[in-house]
Amino acid sequence: MYVKLNNINFEYVKNNLILDDFSLEIKKGDIAALIGNSGSGKSTILRILSGLETPISGEVIVNDQILFNTKISINPEKRNVGMVFQDYALFPHLSVKKNIYFGLHGKTKDEKDKIVNDVLELVNLKHKINNYPYELSGGEQQRIALARSLATNPDVLLLDEPFSNLDANLKKQIRKELKQIIKKADITCIFVTHDIEDANDIADEIINLKKTS
Ligand SMILES: Nc1ncnc2c1ncn2[C@@H]1O[C@H](COP(=O)(O)OP(=O)(O)O)[C@@H](O)[C@H]1O
Ligand SMILES: [Mg+2]
């Protein structure tokens, strides 16, 4: 399996287990939906995968690389994990191009320009390259945030409630687009939702989280 969480125990506060012996496995290239009630630990799982939170015990493995176990803990910036948060988090004072440039370290200008061009083509927004976030619709901003994550070519892409800021009509359309983009990019993806329709529409596999406390 390409993404593995093995027997993860996690708590924010002592003696209050948020994840109790939690495991999951995801196949390479699959889109997995993580579904569960508010407070069930969905965001926490993504934060553990990206290295923002440290479990008490267990194992995190992506692409055969151990990112965390009892002996090893790889820093978030060394993990090849892309994350798109709920609020898109584009830099408002930077153009689309500069927003995507942002995560691309150690590359020449030509290399960066090629990557920007490629990911904007993928999300169908090449014509917005010089626009600023406030000039884009909610759906467009979301696609730019997605493009920015894809630019670093992550092993796994994590999306935390990517549709929560969109109205119902837009959501349907964006769901379809998102799936097409992710499949075209051929990337393994975990997305969090509390909406079973999102999961049914997009996901190859659904992971249902039961509340432990
Ligand atoms: N920084 C934190 N400190 C303490 N408790 C937290 C923190 N973040 C989240 N929690 C708690 O952990 C549980 C799981 O949170 P979270 O992973 O955000 O759930 P979900 O994303 O499924 O809504 C919740 O009970 C939440 O209140
Ligand atoms: Mg959450």
pLDDT at 56: 97
The Å distance, Cα 125 to ligand 2 centre, comes to: 28
**Average pLDDT of every residue of the chain:** 92
pLDDT at 173: 80
pLDDT at 170: 75
**Among 104, 184, 199, CA closest to 143:** 184
- Which residue has 């329709």 as its token pair? 197
pLDDT of 186 higher than 70: yes
pLDDT tens readout for residues 188-205: 999 999 889 889 999 999
Ligand 1 first shell, C-beta below 6 A: 12-13, 18, 36, 38-44
The Å distance, Cα 103 to ligand 2 centre, comes to: 24
Dihedral sign for Cα 2, 172, 120, 44, please: negative
pLDDT at 128: 98
Q: Burial of 5 by CB count in 10 Å (0-12 exposed, 13-18 middle, 19+ buried)?
A: buried
pLDDT at 88: 63
The Å distance, Cα 56 to ligand 1 centre, comes to: 16
Model pTM score: 0.91
pLDDT tens readout for residues 122-139: 999 999 999 999 999 888
Alpha carbons 85 and 71: distance in angstroms, whole number: 29
Compute the average pLDDT of residues 91-96.
Answer: 95
